[in-house]
């Protein structure tokens, strides 16, 4: 199915009209359509972005029900305990970014089922959440407001920490989201989150990202731009696999399949789809292959040390950040 509802846009971070085309890609994860999407890189702030991109009224087409269960597995019958167990390592890694902050008021934007809110509540935080989609389950009845963050009213300067965990990539006005969040922080408060990195090997070589759900792909330079324009200090950035995957695993096998007859599109479809992992890791054109399994094992052995090196030099796929609201002396 090919859908014609895309619109051209300037850079969503700095509004620049100057950009260069990087590559074309498709929805390889959920295959909601057969459309191709062009990824551009802003010549001024360095972020990547889709243009043309799906219009705001049609973006729900690209969010199938499986999107919200892709981490836990598709199941309404999963208990709250099972959900927390599947997210345990991820939640602990997120919490590490708050370990040196005295518990206070925390706002999590993109709260989904409320797992992070619940986890931080147990550590003494007064938590609130925002989630766009009101159909997402809230098993623990966490204090989550549903709707568009930009249209909601909050008291400015009242939150100690605001978090964006893999949210800014999805929104249409990331600069406005950032601006509003910065205003809600008290002086000295912190803004934490993660995004995907346009300068990673996964983005530049394998064109791997959650397109077209990811509308904007960030760089450290684009985060620095947001800090300068919102009275924030950029404390630190870190690329790593701790919170979300973004692993290079599969890259060697992808190259192998390309060398021996797969088109780039057919190999990428097998790699990024989530319904049948064995299709990529164990099979050759749908049939189980011992040789593919051997290459898969070699792939997994080699990619981990490569990822460690890439993360250390800032070319990892997941870019985590920490900002502090400036304190101005009267």
Backbone angles phi, psi at 35, to 5 degrees: -65, 150
Across 81-92, average pLDDT:
88
In contact, 227 and 318? CB cutoff 8 Å: no
Same structural domain, 222 and 305: no
pLDDT at 236: 93
Spatial distance between the Cα atoms of 177 and 193, rounded to a whole number of angstroms: 13
Q: What is the mean pLDDT of the chain?
A: 90
Q: What is the mean pLDDT of residues 167-185?
A: 96
Asked whether residue 33 is domain-assigned, the answer is no
Q: What is the pTM of this model?
A: 0.90
260 and 183 within one domain: no
What is the percent of the chain where pLDDT is above 90? 65
CA distance 200 to 222: 14
Cα separations in angstroms, 325 against 2, 156, 188, 287: 44, 12, 5, 55
Relative to beta strand 216-217, strand 48-50 is: antiparallel
- Identify whether residues 283 and 144 lie together within a single domain: no
Residue 263 — pLDDT band, cuts 50, 70, 90? very high
Residue 78 lies in a domain: no
C-alpha–C-alpha distance, residues 265 and 102, integer Å: 49
Confidence (pLDDT) at 273? 85
pLDDT at residue 283 tops 90: yes
The H-assigned helical ranges of the chain are 80-96, 115-121, 174-184, 201-204, 220-228, 251-259, 264-272, 278-281, 290-312
Q: Do 218 and 259 belong to one domain?
A: no
- Quick check: is 56 in a domain? no
Whether 258 is in a domain gets the answer yes
183 and 198 assigned to the same domain? yes
Cβ count within 10 A of residue 242 = 17
- 5-14, 151-160, 267-276 — most confident range: 151-160
Same domain, 259 and 157: no
Structure tokens, 279: 């299709």
- Is the pLDDT at 104 greater than 60? The verdict is yes
Determine the pLDDT at residue 1: 47
- CATH number of the domain within which 142 lies: 3.40.50.150
CA 256 to chain centre: 28
Any bridge partners for residue 105, and if so which? 126
Same domain, 305 and 163: no
Domain that holds residue 268: 251-310
Q: 16 in a domain, yes or no? A: no
Is 263 domain-assigned? yes
Closest Cα partner for 185 from 218, 163, 212?
163
H or E, element range at 301: helix 290-312
Identify whether the C-beta of residue 27 lies closer than 8 Å to the C-beta of residue 209: no
50 within domain boundaries: no
What total number of domains does the chain contain? 2
160 and 255 part of one domain = no
Q: Is 270 within the bounds of a domain?
A: yes
User: What is the pLDDT confidence band of residue 205, given thresholds at 50, 70 and 90?
Assistant: confident
Mean pLDDT, residues 189-202: 93
Co-location of 147 and 163 in the same domain: yes
Query: Is residue 252 a contact partner of residue 281, using CB atoms and an 8 Å limit?
Result: no
Same domain, 207 and 160: yes
261 in the same domain as 139: no
CB 219 within 8 A of CB 199: yes
* Together in a domain, 300 and 200: no
pLDDT in tens, 212-251: 999 999 999 999 999 999 999 999 999 887 777 667 888 8
């Amino acid at each position: 199915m090919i859908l014609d509802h895309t619109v051209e846009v300037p850079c969503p971070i700095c509004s620049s009209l100057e950009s260069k085309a990087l590559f074309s890609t498709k929805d390889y994860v959920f295959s909601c359509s057969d459309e191709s999407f062009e990824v551009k890189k802003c010549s001024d702030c360095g972020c990547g972005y889709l243009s043309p991109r799906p219009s705001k009224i049609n973006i729900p087409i690209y969010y199938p029900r499986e999107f919200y269960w892709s981490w836990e597995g598709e199941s309404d019958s999963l208990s709250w305990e099972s959900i927390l167990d599947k997210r345990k390592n991820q939640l602990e890694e997120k919490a590490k970014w708050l370990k040196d902050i005295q518990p206070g008021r925390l706002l999590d934007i993109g709260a989904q089922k409320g797992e992070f809110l619940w986890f931080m509540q147990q550590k003494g935080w007064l938590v609130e959440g925002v989630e766009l989609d009101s159909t997402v389950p809230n098993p623990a009845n966490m204090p989550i407001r549903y709707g568009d963050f930009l249209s909601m009213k909050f008291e400015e300067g009242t939150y100690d920490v605001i978090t964006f965990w893999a949210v800014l990539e999805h929104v249409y006005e990331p600069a406005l989201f950032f601006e509003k969040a910065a205003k809600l922080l008290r002086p000295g408060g912190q803004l934490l989150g993660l995004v995907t990195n346009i300068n990673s090997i996964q983005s530049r070589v394998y064109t791997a990202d959650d397109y077209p759900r990811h509308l904007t792909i960030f760089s450290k330079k684009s985060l620095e731009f947001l800090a300068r324009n919102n009275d924030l200090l950029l404390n630190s950035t870190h690329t790593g696999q701790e919170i979300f995957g973004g692993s290079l695993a599969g890259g060697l096998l992808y190259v192998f399949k390309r060398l021996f007859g797969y088109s780039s599109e057919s190999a990428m479809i097998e790699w990024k789809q989530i319904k049948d992992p064995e299709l990529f890791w164990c099979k050759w054109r749908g049939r189980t292959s011992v040789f593919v399994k051997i290459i898969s094992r070699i792939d997994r052995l080699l990619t981990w040390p490569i990822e460690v090196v890439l993360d250390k030099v800032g070319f990892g796929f997941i870019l985590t950040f920490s900002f502090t609201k400036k304190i101005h002396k009267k």
